Amino acid sequence: MRGLGDHLSIGERIAFYRRRRGHTQEVLAGLVGRSTDWLAKIERGSRNPPRVDMLAELARILRVPLGDLLGQTVLMEDERQQDDVPAVRDALMSPRRLSRLLFGPEAETQLPTPAPVAVRVEQSWNDYQGGRLGSVIAALPGLLQTAQELEERATRRGEDRGDCWAVSARTHHLAATTLAKIGESDISWLAAERAMRAADESDNPLVLASAARSGTHALLANGRYDDALELGNTAAAWLSSQVTEQDPEALSLLGMIHLRAAVAAARHQDRSIANGLLDRAEELADDLGSDENYWQTGFGPTNVVLHRLSIELDLDNIAYVVENGRINVDHMPQERSVSHRIDYARALSLAGQSDESFAELRTAERTSPQLVRNNPRVRETLRDLIKQAPVSSGSRSSEVFVMAQRCKAVQ
């Protein structure tokens, strides 16, 4: 969290901002339709944190980003400390992006061609799916600068205009998704907007459908669940009219759009809409026939199952996740498999299965240290595990405490 230590719990963050806004517990509880006792227990940590939809409402009333209540990620555990998010922000907020008319072309610049840039972008997408967030952050400033140059080339030349815009869209999509993953929700939205504008210019329906995913990621990260659902439904309806049902790339993109919209519906606590969207995605996965990775979607039958479990967790159906969460994810992209293990560990912790929860977190950490050590949900789960088993030397609980220190869940 900006300005607060990451060792603080969600309840402690709520209390901090409540006091900062000058609200009593009674007033804030009344504004969200809950009892003072409910809020007091949340702030003390004597009951589980609120669901994400209630956290979004608390963030709205307290006038802070949702991420400030959930806790921000910290990219400092990489031995090379590839965590220069300010450089990514600078690349997105370059004054030259504001007006081509005011700044004009840079006469001495040798503008790149899209093909070699596309290769670099896809390599960074592979890093993202492999959980190597530090490498992605390190590459993004240069990639974003090159994307701007490709856009300049597109305005000057006609023969590869569409390709230039398509590569820019993929670059900004990567930026938006990565920034949302690490809690930089404000600039994630800026990157998503750039991705969709470039995709519009590319005249490629698959590029636009892929870029729409970045918009849903950014909106979800900002707690704008209604808007994320609207974007997902609109993009799905548009894509359905533009492509053939036999195109596996289109099936994958359409399926992922349905899955992101389902997450938005679940976080708005609309089970009926979420289940309907999951069912549509499941039909598309069955048509696809296997787990694939077109457009870095990782879409297929397994990904639908993983999203169904994540959505049930958002809907507080802990028993369902515990009963059905032990599935093979070793063949999935690491970003997806680790996200599932974190969700499953959270459910196991909430069900009081501490040893099983910790085992899932350790497996996830071995798979991708960056994705685990930078995740606010991991920190909250580790704090819960510590409460369930007070630290004693030489026991499993001491291992939990050491991992909590690595993940900055405790001081």
At residue 13, the pLDDT reads 83
Q: How many residues does the chain have?
A: 411
Give residue 269's Cα distance to chain centre.
19
Give the residue-averaged pLDDT of 269-282. Answer: 95
First vs last C-alpha separation in the chain: 14
Band (pLDDT 50/70/90 cuts) for residue 117 is very high
Query: Is residue 383 a part of any domain in this protein?
Result: yes
164 within 8 A of 150, measured Cβ to Cβ: yes
The larger pLDDT score, comparing residue 23 to residue 275, is at 275
Which of 54, 72, 90 represents a domain boundary (last residue)? 72
User: CATH number of the domain that 346 lies in?
Assistant: 1.25.40
CA 137 to chain centre: 15
Q: Evaluate whether residue 313 is within a structural domain.
A: no
Asked whether residue 368 is domain-assigned, the answer is: yes
pLDDT value of residue 395: 55
Residue-range definition of the domain harbouring residue 328: 320-411
- Band the pLDDT of 4: cuts 50, 70, 90: low
The reported pLDDT for the residue numbered 73 is 54
Give the pLDDT score at 393.
45
Question: Of 80-84, 172-176, 362-366, which gets the smallest average pLDDT?
Answer: 80-84
pTM: 0.81
CA 201 to chain centre: 26
Question: CA-CA distance, 166 to 236, in Å (whole number)?
Answer: 19
If you count DSSP H runs as helices and E runs as strands, how many of each does the chain have, helices first? 22, 0
Give the residue-averaged pLDDT of 153-168.
88
Domain boundary among 45, 72, 99: 72
Mean pLDDT of 40-58: 81
d(CA 73, CA 62): 21
Residue 352: inside a domain: yes
Average of per-residue pLDDT across 292-307: 96
Q: What's the rounded Cα separation, in Å, for the pair 345 and 378? A: 8
Residue range 279-295: mean pLDDT, rounded: 94
Residue 67 and residue 59: Cα distance in Å, rounded? 9
Kindly state the average pLDDT of the residues 365-372: 90
Residue 306 lies in a domain: no
Mean pLDDT on 140-155: 93
Tokens of 316: 């507080």
The mean-pLDDT minimum among 5-9, 309-313, 378-382 falls in 5-9
Among 28, 51, 72, which residue terminates a domain? 72
**With contact defined as beta carbons under 8 Å apart, do 277 and 258 qualify?**
yes
Amino acid letter at 197? R
**Is 407 within a domain?**
yes
Q: How many domains does the chain divide into?
A: 2
- The segment with the largest mean pLDDT, out of 41-55, 87-101, 158-172, is 158-172
The HSE-up count of residue 285 (CA atoms within 13 Å, CB side) is 26
Please, which residues have CB within 8 angstroms of residue 363's CB and are 6 or more apart in sequence?
341
- Closest C-alpha among 43, 25, 46, 44 to residue 34: 25
Position 75 scores a pLDDT of: 52
Per mean pLDDT, which range of 71-80, 106-115, 241-250 is the poorest? 71-80
CATH number, position 9: 1.10.260.40
- What pLDDT is stored for residue 77 in this prediction? 44
Which range among 70-79, 239-248, 387-396 shows the weakest confidence by mean pLDDT?
A: 70-79
Q: Say which residue the tokens 């669940």 belong to.
A: 225
Q: Give how far Cα 82 sits from Cα of 76, 138, 343, Å.
A: 8, 6, 26
| Residue 219 belongs to a domain | no
Q: Work out the average pLDDT over 339-368.
A: 94
Mean pLDDT score of the chain: 87
Quick: pLDDT tens for 386-395.
888 765 444 5
Local confidence band at 72 (pLDDT 50, 70, 90 cut-offs): low
Q: Looking at 38-52, 119-133, 365-379, which range is the least confident one? A: 38-52
Q: DSSP states of 69-130 as a string?
A: HH-------STT----HHHHHHHHT-GGGT-HHHH---TT--PPPHHHHHHHHHHHHHHHHT
Task: Decide which of 319 and 25 is more confident.
Answer: 319
Q: Which residue has the higher pLDDT, 112 or 140?
A: 140
Mean pLDDT of 63-74: 70
346 found inside a domain: yes
- Tell me which long-range contacts 351-356 makes (C-beta under 8 A, separation of at least 24): 351/318, 351/319, 351/322, 352/388, 353/322, 354/385, 354/388, 354/389, 354/396, 355/396
Average of pLDDT values for 256-266? Answer: 95
- What confidence score (pLDDT) does residue 53 get? 76
Any idea which of 23-32, 37-46, 66-75, 252-261 has the lowest mean pLDDT? 66-75
According to DSSP H, which parts of 130-204 are helical? 133-156, 161-181, 185-202
